[in-house]
A and B are shown apart, each in its own frame.
Chain A
Amino acid sequence: MALRSAQGDGPTSSRWDGGSEKADFNTKKKKKVAEIYQALNSEPTDVAALRRMAISEGGLLNDDIRRKVWPKLLNINTNDPPPISGKNLRQLSKDYQQVLLDVRRSLRRFPPGMPDEQREGLQEELIDIILLILERNPQLHYYQGYHDIVVTFLLVVGERLATSLVEKLSTHHLRDFMDPTMDNTKHILNYLMPIIDQVNPELHDFMQSAEVGTIFALSWLITWFGHVLSDFRHVVRLYDFFLACHPLMPIYFAAVIVLYREQEVLECDCDMASVHHLLSQIPQDLPYETLISRAGDLFVQFPPSELAREAAAQQQAERTAASTFKDFELASAQQRPDMVLRQRFQGLLRSEDRTKDVLTKPRTNRFVKLAVMGLTVALGAAALAVVKSALEWAPKFQLQLFP
């Protein structure tokens, strides 16, 4: 209820969502484009600023900018040769059949007017990218829905760059989804109800009595909403946001959607089928900018470290905890610190002065904070598995910046 009532007092909610003040919109957009290019062209690249741009209203605005900024957010050097494999992966890969089935059925992911021939070519590329990443990273396991993520990158940045970006993403943000089992994915889903509980206990209790579970949000989480949103512009806007933030941000965004639909949920019959059915049908006209901003607020207000205990308790309630914590350790052991990212950590500290004047503005404060938190992940926590980091992730760095 808090979220609903707060909706009215956000003057920003419609500005980028097709608001009436066209001139104002264009002016702001131009200004933002200029700021993004300034951050791109500064030496070294001002990644912290790019993160703020990706999070703040409108995100990265268009695909030309995304092609330049997404690699920066993932610390990919676009001059490096793309990964390749000389092997015939379609013959060798144990996942080929499943990938083929899923990609063939993913027609809806491609722009409606695209000629069949072009789409089929892209589908072939999609299969190649997935098989290549799986071959290069034997610790990663394919899941249905992974193809929904890869296709988004393919459509925005093309095959060559998509391979590099998705490979990085798969070993970081998506790492937990790609375990041999989905136990860690389930654990991340366990953050959903505690977040809802913090904001709206009544809604939380209703959903608990309905025993709706959290599977309605599974495809949202593991495809970054690519599977459920039909407008590609909304998908890439969310990808801007998620790429700039902590890997658990998609679950905060999922919670925000549920909270936004509070009235509908409470008016629904209190049983698993009704609530699951209602929630799994995601409305296509969500006020994305408002919800993104709220998800960011919630993340700052209730960071994962604070929710970890409750999320773990949910896990225990489901009697699957025993092995899971060992799995976390195992998963984190598979990750390696990234020296380049560490070097960039120094860069961020230098940029601290630059961000200070922005901090005085309350609205921007949050974006800076989020951007820094996102960067913290890229620097430190990314060296750990997400779940591990979610359990132990004390935002020390953030506390230094924001005492």
Chain B
Amino acid sequence: MASEMESSLEASFMSSGAVSGASGFLPPARSRIFKIIVIGDSNVGKTCLTYRFCAGRFPDRTEATIGVDFRERAVEIDGERIKIQLWDTAGQERFRKSMVQHYYRNVHAVVFVYDMTNMASFHSLPSWIEECKQHLLANDIPRILVGNKCDLRSAIQVPTDLAQKFADTHSMPLFETSAKNPNDNDHVEAIFMTLAHKLKSHKPLMLSQPPDNGIILKPEPKPAMTCWC
């Protein structure tokens, strides 16, 4: 597995041909870094989503994440080289209570993930949002909501309108996607790239500081209404 899962950093640099924007070379030392934490219940697909974005494909086999895993990819946005760091966290509640908090430090954005085929994972979202509030000093940090596994159409338990209502209540854009279905590859890509664009356009120079103007990510193209499956 070490070679399978943990090679995403390398893969992100090697897959430059396949994945638009990824660099074939090591980024210059001064490229900006966007640090994004990915949270949600166990087995909703956090590891697969981050792996899909960083390595450009669905991992063959994933295991439970213990603690915090880290994946990274260099992208180019409007001519600027930017490193996107994804912090993939353990889903089991006991880990987040005393373990994960260290990794909320200096986070630029939060991705909440639920499993569209598992209503319980959707019902857990309020506690994840609350948890996140406690750890993040600035509450205007961009947050997005991602419903994963939309390729399993017959098993969907969380209807889009319900999720959209929830997302609106919490001023988050909603994305429904699948880390697995190859046709959705661009969409996982698009989700993180949209987020990166947001961060880039709203973050001036000092990334370690929270933005001074309250950012509310309005869902621009109403992504959820057109499920990308």
Contact = CB atoms under 8 A, between A and B. Distances in A.
A219 B92 contact: no
A216 interface: yes
A105 B85 CA distance: 25
B97 interface: yes
Interface stretch (B59-67, B182-190, B191-199): B59-67
B169 interface: no
A335 interface: no
Interface residues of A, number: 38
A247 interface: no
Given A106-B63, A216-B67, A144 B72 contact: no
Contacts of A272: 105
B131 to A, nearest CB: 14
A280 B63 contact: no
Contacts of A228: 2
Interface in A114-154: 141, 143-145, 147
B92 A98 contact: yes
A218 interface: yes
Nearest to A223: B66
Given A211-B105, A273-B35, A320-B98, A143 B92 contact: yes
Contacts of B69: 280
B155 interface: no
Given A108-B63, A215-B67, A230 B94 contact: no
Interface stretch (A17-25, A178-186, A256-264): A178-186
Most chain B C-beta atoms within 10 Å of own C-beta, residue among A215, A273, A281: A215
A82 to B, nearest CB: 27
Interface string B37-78: 000001100000000000000000111111111101000000
Contacts of A102: 42, 63-64
B92 A144 contact: yes
Interface of B: 1-3, 6, 9, 33, 35, 42-43, 61-70, 72, 85, 90-92, 94-95, 97-100, 102-103, 105
Q: Give the 10 A-B residue pairs with the shortest CB-CB distance, closest first.
A: A219-B66, A218-B67, A215-B67, A144-B64, A213-B102, A101-B43, A102-B64, A144-B92, A145-B66, A182-B98
Given A102-B63, A108-B63, 18 more contacts: A98-B92, A101-B42, A101-B43, A107-B61, A181-B94, A182-B94, A182-B95, A182-B99, A183-B98, A211-B105, A213-B102, A215-B99, A215-B102, A219-B66, A277-B72, A280-B69, A281-B2, A282-B2
